[in-house]
Amino acid sequence: MAKDILTTDNIRLGADLGTKEEAIRFTGNILVDNGYVDNTYVDKMLEREEVTSTYIGNNVAIPHGTEDAKAAVKETGLSIVTAPEGIDFGSGNTVKLLIGIAGKGNEHLEILSKIALVCAEEENVEKLVQAQSKQEILDMFAEVN
């Protein structure tokens, strides 16, 4: 049976992360720890970030692996990390919400569109960043179907 793409185990609230690299590793390691990806995927997430920033605006970054990281993906999954203090992602961009993605095949494209719908609204991002429970985050993403 396939794993759920997003569960409370994949969410961390109020993380205190100093650097962009630390933030991406933290986000990726949640996917590793919960069996979605091999640990090589985290390095591919950092590689992707060097090629092009995964910052999408509204204080949101969506770290994910490079195209050749597909082999490291066991199951499609998401990790969500809130960092209310913000992390400097360079070029004056501050990230308070990290959404790590690992997609089998092309499943990540559908997931990305759902994330984009939620994160397009600044007030939604603020609600996610200020969430007091993991369930609040699950509920916000559940509404986008």
64 is an active site residue: yes
Alpha-carbon torsion (6, 64, 44, 2), positive or negative? positive
**Helices 40-51 and 20-33: crossing angle, nearest 10°?**
150
**Tokens standing for 88?**
């400097």
Catalytic residue among 20, 44, 48, 64: 64
**Tokens standing for 59?**
């204080």
- Which residue's entry shows tokens 């066991």? 74
Active site residues: 64
